[in-house]
Amino acid sequence: MFSLMRNLRRSLIENNSIGKYALYAFGEVVLIVLGILAALWIDTWNQERQEVKREQFYLSGLKEEFQASLSKLDTLMAVNRKSYRTAEDLLQRIPGASVGEEAVLSKMLIGALTYEIVYNPNNSLLKELINSGRLETLTNPMLRRHLTSWESFLESVRRQEENLRLQRQHTTDLLRGPEGSIRTIAVYSQVDPELRLNPDEPLYSNLDLLQSREFENNFLLFMLDAKNMETVHYNPLRQEITTILG
């Protein structure tokens, strides 16, 4: 085709057909411009198609991450709920308890104080998107806004989890002190079957400590913090995850 156009151009020049040559030259320029525009359009279309594929890849990965994070949160909330409900039952039982109920109280103490409440969501892909500046690949502005504020949600949760950990620590410190007996709790609750403790040896009762005002104050603060963890922090966090997934 190019050789045909070249021959036509030569013929017009040799025949001194200036008007026809000018018209031909204009047509040739138009064809070149159209060719360039077509190439640019194809390149832009290809880039947009790649961007769409990249966005779908990120969306799919983020969905898997937040679904896993939701599952982890539901499990953690169930553990925390069991912990503070056991604490509630224990506080109601302590005032009228007798030494004969030491085994029951020990098991309830284990149920209330054993579990560390720490939320660790799956956020590796989200962190990569934010750190690399690729969050703008996501075309939904509302989604980007929620993902950007996700870390602030987690910071609030972590602060409350630390408060809860400290309250649990204050309570367990009392049990480790001179008025408490961890050995008694371990024997009665059978927390570790492989722990070789002789149950026939004399056991010190924790009942006086449990009925003290100091223990009640610390244990009550722990229980309230655990309930607050669910209502004020975990429930809104769960709602945020479902919003992001939606």
Q: What pLDDT was estimated at residue 112?
A: 92
Q: What are the structure tokens assigned to 126, written together?
A: 């989200």
CA geometry: angle 166, 172, 217, nearest 5 deg: 75
∠ CA 25-27-32, nearest 5°, is 95
Q: Which pLDDT score, from 0 to 100, does residue 197 have?
A: 62
What interhelical angle do 213-228 and 150-176 show, nearest 10? 160
What is the Cα 25 distance to its own chain's centre? 64
Q: Running along the chain, 246 residues long, what does each successive block of 10 average in pLDDT?
A: 55 56 59 64 59 85 95 96 94 88 91 91 90 87 93 92 94 91 83 62 86 94 95 96 95
- CB-based contact 86:108 (threshold 8 Å): yes
- Rounded distance, CA 131 to CA 125, Å? 10
- Answering whether pTM is above 0.85, one says no
Helices (H), the chain: 2-14, 18-93, 102-113, 124-132, 141-148, 150-176, 182-189, 207-210, 213-228, 235-245
Hey, how many other C-beta atoms are within 10 angstroms of the C-beta on 243? 12
Task: Give the pLDDT confidence score for residue 51 in this predicted structure.
Answer: 72
Q: How many residues does the chain have?
A: 246
pLDDT of amino acid 15:
59
- The pLDDT assigned to 98 comes to 86
